[in-house]
Amino acid sequence: MNDAVDHRIGRGSTHCDIFCCGRGVPWANDGESRRATPAIMKLQIRAQNLASLPDVEDPAAVTVIDARFNRLRSLSASLAQYGNLLTLRLSYNQLEELPDELGALTKLKVLHLSSNPLRRFPPVLKSLPQLEVLYLDQTGIEEIPSDFQPPALLRLSLSRNKLRTLPEGLFAERSPLRFLNLHQNCLRSLPASLATLAALEQLDLSQNEIEKLPDDFGQLLRLRALHLQCNCLHSLPREFGKLAALKRLALHENQLDALPETIGGLVALKCLDVSRNNLVTLPESIIGWHSLCRLVLSDNRLQALPSGFCGLQALTHCFLHGNRLSDLPANKDPAAFLHALQVFNCSDNAFPKGWKIPLVYRKAQLSGRHSAT
């Protein structure tokens, strides 16, 4: 069935699902093969080299259109006839704009537009009141209109664009947004309203030019994953330690000189990467990281570790190479030993000649996954 259209019609039903398998299905380019199809629920036309959407007998019956990986340059006004459409996937096409008729799809919940040369934010997106998922990655967008406030949006992805600023009104109070991806843009600052996203669980701000986080950033109490790597951060706000639900934190490749003492409040933290910064010391409050499994502190300027370091009982992977350490903390209390430690690297430091690794780190050393040279 590589070059066929399979019509699967259920008994006693006037609907069928059309699955287009393989490439080169002959119904997009010539009038004879561009025939009307039976009424359907799902239109699966992914990777068919289509220049336009096929006609269907009953557009109102269609709830899903998957037309990714084609060569669509435009959408016809007939799109307004798909009044019951819930999901529309148009990523990896050649769309430069969206018709106003898209606004007639008032039931639309999921819209994928990534990897299209849109360049400008489509104004019609402001007319989709039930939209819950919007992907606009790698579309060349440079700005978002200040009046774009989708009331039902749960996931918004705008990575690999050219955004320099975000409008203050983008993050409305009581927004249900849970996932926000702004990876690889040109952002230097963030609107204060970002801190009002009380439902936010995942936030990716990596590979921007951000120098400072909003003072109220710690109000994102449901945040579980935060990516801030490859920015220009010199410090973190004092309220950062209020992110008690945070499990994954990426801060590598910034310009951090220190971590706030309040960071010990990240009691749910499991993975932390602060490598390639300018840290000289760590706060004693890190003893509060009871769930921390993976800690990456390599390529900083650390001269010493806090005494509570040995109290990180859940720690399994620790990377300290490329610092200025001359010794490691050693706690003689067996209850405070790093019993879970499996991988430990403290190479390329300033340990004196003849220095021996303390007993508390021996388990990782004996496992053959330790390096101190």
**What are the domain boundaries of the chain?**
1-141, 156-278, 301-373
Output the pLDDT for position 284.
94
Output the pLDDT for position 361.
81
Q: What count of other Cβ atoms lies within 10 Å of the Cβ of residue 364?
A: 24
Determine the CATH number of domain 156-278: 3.80.10.10
Q: What count of other Cβ atoms lies within 10 Å of the Cβ of residue 23?
A: 11
Q: What is the DSSP string of 121-173?
A: --GGGGG-TT--EEE-TTS------TT---TT--EEE--SS------GGGS-T
Query: Structure tokens of 210?
Result: 């951000």
Output the pLDDT for position 247.
98
Q: What count of other Cβ atoms lies within 10 Å of the Cβ of residue 180?
A: 21
CA angle 211, 215, 220 (to 5 degrees): 105
Query: Structure tokens of 122?
Result: 């489509």
Assigned architecture for domain 1-141 = Alpha-Beta Horseshoe (3.80)
Output the pLDDT for position 339.
82
Output the pLDDT for position 358.
84
Residues of the chain with pLDDT under 70: 1-40, 331-336, 363-373
Give the global pTM: 0.87
Output the pLDDT for position 13.
33
Q: Do 1-141 and 156-278 have matching folds? A: yes
Output the pLDDT for position 238.
94
Output the pLDDT for position 44.
95
CA angle 348, 351, 355 (to 5 degrees): 125
Output the pLDDT for position 5.
36
Instruction: State how far the Cα of 149 lies from the Cα of 96, in Å rounded to an integer.
Output: 23
Output the pLDDT for position 296.
98
Output the pLDDT for position 6.
37
